[in-house]
């Protein structure tokens, strides 16, 4: 232990950042323990549904055309940018490649990246036809050290699927060192290097600063930002309706949600906590709250806004609060099996049980920093906009088969809405809304 401690002392005595990280890890451990020891009833006391003024649904909404027009207008003026979260690998899918390279076996489109980038190309073409404005939507892709090079090479090899390479800026999220289970020592490799892992989707904010993304956006005249995750097969990228909804209501931060219909569904929920917008774990509300019906519509759950990590930001938020978010965003604890080196025994440790902590930050933890008047939630149809690719073929849902079927079903629906009949069982339909 003496040898290990000396290494630790040598590293941290000169590095205030790592000492601060240890301190914050202790806070995170204390918060976790408090949460585990607090009853759901007590946790729920500060939680309320979003006020009606802060939530709107796209389902049977007569205002969608107005929202869409406002969003298209902003797009035509080159005021919109896209941030794509693409740091994950397809580990659960049996692949070490970036998840964006994964093929859900559509005949026409061979990867998630192709589906998404071609949808942006179609949107740009729509803007040109409608406004005679030739636009190139700035596209910022956050990768991880494990996915950066393959993502970059794949997009270059495929000529960015028809988009201009000048639209793209690819940058890495940061990493955080792993710690022992007590959170007071860093785990090291045999070479005495910190064992690192990605810092979670909340690392976006520091990555924006470190890679000068904000400056680039400001230089491009960007006012509105759409952020989404690569693994949502049905995502509507730079969605004019979403952007227009934020513009119409003068919201600075918005999120999309899908309707939770089963009280037992294990999803994060968008609520207010202590009067501030927040995302909570499903376990933070008790059974009575989970099952309670909306006071205005008994067919709906009161707590139904399921988080899908699909956000809108006004550029002013980044200008005014980015540094504060980076400094104040909390860390979350994940106990993991982490291979490391024991300097006492001079042996590699390949644990069978969790032996350490990986720290991560969550992107939605900035919600409480925004005044409730500046926050909006747009409820969208799950069938239209949310089919995440999370699991391998051995899982019952959120797998390549369900994602493919959801994509085909939506395409069939859109075609049917145009008065064109589509036969059941068809294996390939690939259309975009724009």
Taking only the tens place, the pLDDT of each residue in 355-378 is: 999 999 999 999 999 999 999 999
Overall domain count for the chain: 1
Is the pLDDT reported for residue 418 higher than 90? no
- Decide if 427 is inside a domain: no
- Decide if 426 is inside a domain: no
- Decide if 428 is inside a domain: no
User: What is residue 431's predicted lDDT score, i.e. its pLDDT?
Assistant: 53
In this prediction, residue 2 has a pLDDT band, given cuts at 50, 70 and 90, of very low
- Decide if 365 is inside a domain: yes
- Decide if 430 is inside a domain: no
CA–CA separation, 65 vs 153, rounded Å?
39
User: What is residue 16's predicted lDDT score, i.e. its pLDDT?
Assistant: 74
Q: What is the value of pTM for the model shown? A: 0.92
Is the pLDDT reported for residue 427 higher than 80? no
Which residues are 180's β-sheet partners? 356
- Decide if 294 is inside a domain: yes
User: What is residue 1's predicted lDDT score, i.e. its pLDDT?
Assistant: 38
User: What is residue 283's predicted lDDT score, i.e. its pLDDT?
Assistant: 85
Taking only the tens place, the pLDDT of each residue in 36-88 is: 888 777 777 889 999 999 999 999 999 999 999 999 999 999 999 999 999 99
Give the residue-averaged pLDDT of 164-189.
94
- Decide if 433 is inside a domain: no
- Decide if 408 is inside a domain: yes
Taking only the tens place, the pLDDT of each residue in 252-303 is: 999 999 999 899 999 999 999 999 999 999 888 889 999 999 988 999 999 9
In this prediction, residue 122 has a pLDDT band, given cuts at 50, 70 and 90, of very high
Q: Is the dihedral of CA 248, 252, 258, 264 positive or negative?
A: negative
User: What is residue 68's predicted lDDT score, i.e. its pLDDT?
Assistant: 97
Read off the CATH number of the domain in which 390 is found.
3.90.550.10
Which domain range does residue 146 map to? 2-417
């Amino acid at each position: 232990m003496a040898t290990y401690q000396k290494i630790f002392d040598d590293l941290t005595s000169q590095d205030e950042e790592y000492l601060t990280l240890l301190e914050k890890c202790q806070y995170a451990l204390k918060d976790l323990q408090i949460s585990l020891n607090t009853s759901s009833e007590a946790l729920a006391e500060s939680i309320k549904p979003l006020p009606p003024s802060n939530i709107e649904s796209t389902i049977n909404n007569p205002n969608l055309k107005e929202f869409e027009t406002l969003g298209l207008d902003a797009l035509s003026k080159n005021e919109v940018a896209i941030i794509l979260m693409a740091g994950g690998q397809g580990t659960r899918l049996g692949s070490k490649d970036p998840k964006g390279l994964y093929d859900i076996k559509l005949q026409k489109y061979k990867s998630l990246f192709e589906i998404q980038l071609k949808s942006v190309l179609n949107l740009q073409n729509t803007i040109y036809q409608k406004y005679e404005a030739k636009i190139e939507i700035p596209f910022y892709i956050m990768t991880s050290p494990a996915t950066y090079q393959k993502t970059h090479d794949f997009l270059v090899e495929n000529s960015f699927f028809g988009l201009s390479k000048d639209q793209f800026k690819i940058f890495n999220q940061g990493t955080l060192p792993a710690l022992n289970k007590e959170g007071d020592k860093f785990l090291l490799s045999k070479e005495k290097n910190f064992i690192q892992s990605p810092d979670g989707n909340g690392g976006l904010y520091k990555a924006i600063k470190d890679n000068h993304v904000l400056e680039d956006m400001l230089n491009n005249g960007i006012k509105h930002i759409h952020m989404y995750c690569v693994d949502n097969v049905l995502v509507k990228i730079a969605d004019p309706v979403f952007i227009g909804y934020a513009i119409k209501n003068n919201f600075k931060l918005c999120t999309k949600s899908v309707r939770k219909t089963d009280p037992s569904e294990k999803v994060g929920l968008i609520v207010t906590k202590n009067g501030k917008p927040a995302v909570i774990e499903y376990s933070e509300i008790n059974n009575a709250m989970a099952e309670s019906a909306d006071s205005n519509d008994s067919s709906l759950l009161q707590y139904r806004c399921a988080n899908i990590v699909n956000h809108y930001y006004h550029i002013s938020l980044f200008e005014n609060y980015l540094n504060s978010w980076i400094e104040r965003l909390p860390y979350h604890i994940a106990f993991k099996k982490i291979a490391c080196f024991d300097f006492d025994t001079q042996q590699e440790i390949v644990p069978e049980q969790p032996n350490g902590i990986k720290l991560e930050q969550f992107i939605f933890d900035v919600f409480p920093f925004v005044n409730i008047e500046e926050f909006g939630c747009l409820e969208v149809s799950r069938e239209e906009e949310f089919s995440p690719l999370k699991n391998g073929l051995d899982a019952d849902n959120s797998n390549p088969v369900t994602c493919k079927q959801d994509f085909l079903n939506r395409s069939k629906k859109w075609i049917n809405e145009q008065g064109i009949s589509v036969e059941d069982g068809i294996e390939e339909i690939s259309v975009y809304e724009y």
